Amino acid sequence: MKHARIAYQGLAQEAIVTEAGIQLNDGRFVNKDEVVWLPPVEPKTIFTLGLNYADHAKELSFSATQKEPLIFFKGPNTLIGHNAQTMRPSDVTFMHYECELAVIIAREANQVSKEAAYDYVKGYTIANDYALRDYLENYYRPNLRVKNRDGCTPIGPWFVDKEDVKDPMNLTLRTYVNGKKTQEGTTADMLLGIPELIEFLSGFMTLHPGDIILTGTPKGSVDTKIGDEVVTEIEGIGRLVNTIVGENTFQTN
């Protein structure tokens, strides 16, 4: 089943997305054009993987043989729903998308073995983890100025129950900029897969229900310009649409 959070007629609420349309909790069906898509979950902690695909690590000229996974956190200010806008500041010369499989945690997870890891998964969604590379600095890299900006992480449109995704470690990811395919890869190429990531993280800290792990992106990250429509797509989950806008849209300066 596909679970969404939407705003409809002045109320933020949960909904189910079906072939027949969007079904609200009270049973009513509404049209997708009538709703505002919100991030499908409200996590306490957002984990993000850097360099978790060997080909992307190479693209960014890093050695793929790191001792430990590169992990950083994001704040709740970063999440924004489907069909929304993300701002590209005027001084930025390189802002790229990152299509990522996002894993949603089902229950409190501490000291979980990789064999048991999927018992702790609720479902999957799509995240687009934009990076504004001009702001990269070599301290706690990637620093928050690059990765923790308001609305810089579109997520959704919904999450899909774990039971409906047969093999999450074998899904095709694709990104389209203005309809042209610019990125294609498969979750089979992750350096650390979902079970390994849950084992690693829960080995030294506790994960909570609703927490999200963004599992990294394969190669094919290209610069996106103001006005570009960026569609990140994952097989069996859906398509997440975002549009890049400039500072004028946000009426700054």
Partner 1 sequence: MQTVYLKQSGVHPFKEARVDLENDTIVIAGKTYVKKDISYDIPVNGTVYGTLLNYRGAYQKLEKSMYEPPYQAPPKAPILYIKPVNTFASAGSTIALPEGVFELEIGAALGVVIGRTATKVTTSEALSYVEGYTIVNDVSIPHDSVYRPAIKEKARDGFCPIGPWIVACDSINNPNDLQLRVKINGELKQENTTKNLIRSVEELIADVTAFMTLTKGDVLLVGVPENAPLAREDDMVQIEIDKIGTLENQVISEKAFIGGRI
38 C-beta neighbours (distance < 10 Å), count = 23
Q: Which stretch binds partner 1 (CB under 8 A): 6-14, 54-62, 64-72, 225-233?
A: 64-72
Q: Is 251 helix (H, G, I), strand (E, B) or coil?
A: coil
Question: Any contact of residue 75 with partner 1 (CB under 8 A)?
Answer: yes
Output the CA–CA distances (angstroms, integers) from residue 213 to 92, 216, 251, in the order listed: 27, 9, 33
User: Min. distance of Cβ 211 from partner 1 in angstroms?
Assistant: 9
Q: Which is nearer to partner 1, 137 or 229 (CB)?
A: 137
User: Min. distance of Cβ 104 from partner 1 in angstroms?
Assistant: 16
Q: Which is nearer to partner 1, 14 or 137 (CB)?
A: 137
Residues 175-234 binding partner 1 (CB under 8 A) are: 204-208
DSSP assigned state of 126:
E
Q: Which is nearer to partner 1, 143 or 243 (CB)?
A: 143
Question: Any contact of residue 73 with partner 1 (CB under 8 A)?
Answer: yes
Nearest to 165, CA basis, from 127, 194, 196: 194
Q: Which is nearer to partner 1, 30 or 70 (CB)?
A: 70
Residues 130-159 binding partner 1 (CB under 8 A) are: 135, 137-141, 143-145, 148-150
DSSP assigned state of 200:
H
Cβ partners under 8 Å of residue 96, min gap 6:
130, 131, 133, 221, 222, 223, 224
Query: Which listed residue (3, 5, 56, 74) binds partner 1 by CB under 8 A?
Result: 74
Work out the burial of residue 225: count CB atoms within 10 Å of its CB; fewer than 13 is exposed, 13-18 middle, 19 or more buried.
exposed
29 C-beta neighbours (distance < 10 Å), count = 12
Question: Any contact of residue 65 with partner 1 (CB under 8 A)?
Answer: no
Question: Any contact of residue 163 with partner 1 (CB under 8 A)?
Answer: no
Distance CA 75, CA 188 (A): 28
Distance CA 80, CA 138 (A): 27
Question: Any contact of residue 9 with partner 1 (CB under 8 A)?
Answer: no
Q: Which is nearer to partner 1, 4 or 79 (CB)?
A: 79
Question: Any contact of residue 45 with partner 1 (CB under 8 A)?
Answer: yes
Q: Is 194 helix (H, G, I), strand (E, B) or coil?
A: helix
Question: Any contact of residue 104 with partner 1 (CB under 8 A)?
Answer: no
Q: Which is nearer to partner 1, 21 or 75 (CB)?
A: 75
Distance CA 104, CA 123 (A): 5
Question: Any contact of residue 63 with partner 1 (CB under 8 A)?
Answer: no
Q: Which is nearer to partner 1, 77 or 178 (CB)?
A: 77
What does the binding site for partner 1 look like in residue numbers (CB under 8 A)?
Answer: 44-45, 68, 70-77, 110, 135, 137-141, 143-145, 148-150, 204-208, 252
